[in-house]
């Protein structure tokens, strides 16, 4: 994100959305601790507490550079959708925005999707949206906009995660996880540009996908034949995809819209059980 003046979080076990007022609290919003000495910062930086974002890049950039928070334990729904997407490898060239994911993969009823879409479009037409977020008390409709984007994420996560956990999909599950880690790393670099037209491209070129699948299959076969002597293929894949991407320019970049969304998932009891979503 741009860290918005309000950060929206959703605690799945309690089916409850929380709005954190960064405009009012500043950095204290992340460092105030509960009676177990835990804070939002400790949750966001914990590798053992899972967090789900939609396009983590701008969120990670702002959290790192403004509040010295280095995200860990993150899954990125935008990358999960790309990994989940059926069809030939060439279909994974471009990323989808949140509206497309909600329309195609959300568990919402059709009427709920239309309501979500209306709210999303109305918010997009507010040219002074950032200034509106400064006003206190917060307008009710603004609260609703802050909540609506995170309440659709659990359904999307369920759709993509169920698919990626099926037999034969382990390769893409691992690729999405590695790509999320790389996004966070790149977002913390000084040269990070959240408005780069290449941000609409997926992290995997066609040739890289083909090579990675070939390497994956070879390693799986080697592991089946040699057991513990097999190489650490997950580490090798992580190293492979840590290389800089080099995508050619293409048409259609002007239609790309920033799809970063606020993080979801903080609740005290979930910290204890590792159930942060």
Preceding omega of 32 cis (within 30 degrees of 0) = no
Q: What integer pLDDT is reported at residue 222 of this predicted model? A: 58
Average pLDDT, stretch 205-218?
Answer: 77
6-204+241-273 domain in CATH 3.30.420? yes
pLDDT grade for 179, boundaries at 50, 70 and 90: very high
Q: What integer pLDDT is reported at residue 246 of this predicted model? A: 47
**Longest Cα pair distance anywhere in the chain, in angstroms?**
65
Tell me the whole-structure pTM to 2 decimals.
0.76
What's the pLDDT tens digit per position in 221-241? Answer: 656 666 655 455 455 445 544
Q: What integer pLDDT is reported at residue 255 of this predicted model? A: 40
- Does pLDDT of 277 surpass 50? no
Those residues whose C-beta lies under 8 Å from the C-beta of residue 277, and which sit 6 or more positions away, are 10, 11, 12, 13, 50, 51, 52, 154, 157, 264, 265, 270
What's the pLDDT tens digit per position in 31-86? Answer: 999 888 889 999 999 999 999 999 999 999 999 999 999 999 999 999 999 999 98
User: Length of the chain in residues, anyone?
Assistant: 277
* Helix, strand, coil percent values for the chain (each to nearest 5): 55, 10, 40
Q: How many Å apart are CA 206 and CA 235, to the nearest integer?
A: 21
Those residues whose C-beta lies under 8 Å from the C-beta of residue 69, and which sit 6 or more positions away, are 30, 41, 44, 45, 63
Q: What is the distance of C-alpha 129 from the center of its chain?
A: 23
Q: Of the segments 3-12, 176-185, 231-240, which one has the largest average pLDDT value?
A: 176-185
Residue 17: φ, ψ to 5°: -100, 145
Residue extents of the structural domains in the chain: 6-204+241-273
pLDDT grade for 243, boundaries at 50, 70 and 90: very low
Average pLDDT, stretch 121-125?
Answer: 82
At 8, list the tokens: 């929206």
- Does pLDDT of 272 surpass 50? no
- Does pLDDT of 260 surpass 80? no
Average pLDDT, stretch 145-162?
Answer: 92
Average pLDDT, stretch 10-29?
Answer: 90
pLDDT grade for 218, boundaries at 50, 70 and 90: low
- Does pLDDT of 180 surpass 50? yes
Q: How many Å apart are CA 82 and CA 263, to the nearest integer?
A: 19
Q: How many Å apart are CA 194 and CA 270, to the nearest integer?
A: 31
More confident residue, 131 or 154: 154
């Amino acid at each position: 994100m741009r860290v918005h003046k309000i950060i929206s979080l959703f605690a799945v076990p309690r089916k409850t959305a929380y709005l954190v007022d960064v405009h009012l609290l500043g950095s204290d919003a992340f460092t105030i601790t509960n009676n177990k000495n835990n804070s939002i910062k400790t949750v966001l930086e914990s590798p053992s507490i899972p967090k789900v974002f939609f396009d983590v890049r701008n969120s990670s950039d702002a959290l790192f550079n403004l509040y010295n928070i280095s995200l860990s334990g993150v899954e990125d729904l935008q990358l999960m959708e790309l990994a989940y997407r059926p069809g030939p490898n060439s279909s994974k060239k471009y990323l989808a925005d949140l509206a497309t994911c909600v329309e195609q993969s959300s568990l919402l009823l059709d009427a709920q999707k239309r309501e979500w879409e209306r709210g999303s479009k109305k918010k997009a037409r507010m040219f002074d949206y950032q200034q509106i977020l400064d006003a206190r008390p917060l307008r009710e409709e603004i609260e609703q906009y802050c909540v609506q984007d995170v309440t659709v994420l659990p359904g999307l996560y369920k759709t993509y995660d169920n698919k990626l956990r099926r037999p034969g999909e382990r390769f893409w599950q691992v690729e999405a996880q590695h790509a999320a880690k790389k996004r966070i790393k790149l977002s913390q670099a000084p040269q990070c540009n959240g408005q780069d037209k290449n941000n609409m491209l997926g992290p995997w070129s066609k040739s890289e996908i083909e090579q990675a699948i070939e390497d994956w299959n070879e390693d799986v076969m080697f592991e089946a034949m040699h057991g513990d002597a097999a190489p650490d293929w997950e580490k090798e894949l992580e190293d492979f995809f840590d290389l800089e991407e080099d995508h050619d320019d293409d048409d259609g970049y002007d239609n790309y819209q920033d799809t970063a969304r606020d993080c979801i998932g903080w609740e005290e009891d979930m910290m204890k059980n590792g159930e942060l979503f």
